[in-house]
Amino acid sequence: MKSCKNPFFLLTMDMTALGAETSIDKFRQAGAKPFYPAGIICLWLIFGGYALCQFLPCFHKMAIPMNLSPYTMVISMK
């Protein structure tokens, strides 16, 4: 199987396909209720991930350096 040179292209195509069927009417029909748990989960992931990286040394060592993007890491791993 041949690997893709730009993995972010595939992710972009997937997200575009998901968004192609989305319309504003669906959001209006659902109301604000689905956004409350989504916001709570988003905050939990942000602050929980921060806490793990700050307070657990084993997770701190696995953190990606800020000067490297995931794409450059894929290239450097070859």
Cα separation values, 29 from 24, 25, 26, Å: 9, 6, 5
pLDDT tens-digit profile, the chain (78 residues) = 566 677 778 888 888 888 777 788 888 888 889 899 999 999 999 999 888 877 776 655 555 555 555 555 555 444
User: Can you give the pLDDT at residue 62?
Assistant: 58
Q: Which residue has the tokens 């989960």?
A: 41
Q: Rounded to the nearest 5 degrees, what angle is found at the Cα of 58, between the Cα atoms of 56 and 64? A: 100
User: Can you give the pLDDT at residue 8?
Assistant: 79
State which amino acid sits at residue 17.
A
Local structure of residue 31 (DSSP, 8 states): -
User: Can you give the pLDDT at residue 71?
Assistant: 57
List the one residue out of 68, 34, 56 whose CA is nearest residue 42: 34
- The pTM of this model reads 0.47
